[in-house]
Amino acid sequence: MLLDNFLPNEQVKSVLMIKPEELKSRGIKAIITDLDNTLVEWDRPSATPELTSWFENMKKHQIKVTIVSNNQQSRVKLFAEPLGIPFIYKARKPFAKAFHKAVEMMNVRKEETVVIGDQLLTDILGGNRSGYYTILVVPVAQSDGFMTKFNRKVERRIMSYFKKKGLLSWED
């Protein structure tokens, strides 16, 4: 069914709940993650101390991370460079090109990679259609940028359908 493309493989409250040991036990070697409202609020310029520790823990366990964002270069670079994390900006998610480029950059296989994001219409749809394991996180902030506000309206309808079917359990 068409809506299945929007259904994540997994859902968690925060990226901080994603543990490298669990990923490794499933053969995962790499993470493609969204930035805004997935890692930090869309208007927060840099990583929180908890998030910095999370990145360090992934690195310690040899799990590679690449940020794939639809945002502008200046935004993504300001966040990613101090952490030494590779990134792709203006990714045009849900299109597959940036996901494939990230996997190439990390020198891993699609089957060894998870896609993490807070939006069904970009991160989850793009990851699922490209054949990745997808993890949906609760948005970090209640506010969004302009385009995301539109997406969230559509998303709420899809989520309510999934909730009724018992496919997603989600806190608003």
Full pLDDT tens readout for the chain, 172 residues: 678 899 999 999 999 999 999 999 999 999 999 999 999 998 889 999 999 999 999 999 999 999 999 999 999 999 999 999 999 999 999 999 999 999 999 999 999 999 999 999 999 999 999 999 999 999 887 766 666 677 778 888 888 888 888 887 765 4
Q: Is residue 28 part of a domain?
A: yes
pLDDT value at position 24?
A: 97
DSSP state of 94: T
CA dist 1 and 63 (Å) reads: 33
Q: Is residue 113 part of a domain?
A: yes
Q: Is residue 171 part of a domain?
A: no
pTM (two decimals): 0.90
Q: Residue 114 is inside which H or E element, if any?
A: strand 113-117
pLDDT value at position 102?
A: 98
Show the domain range for 13: 2-164
CA dist 9 and 123 (Å) reads: 12
Q: Are 3 and 154 in contact (CB under 8 A)?
A: no
pLDDT value at position 16?
A: 97
Q: Is residue 172 part of a domain?
A: no
Q: Is residue 112 part of a domain?
A: yes
Asked, as a colleague might, if the bond just before 94 is cis with ω within 30 of 0, I would say yes
Q: What is the mean pLDDT of the chain?
A: 92
CATH of the domain at 122: 3.40.50.1000
pLDDT value at position 4?
A: 87
Q: Is residue 170 part of a domain?
A: no
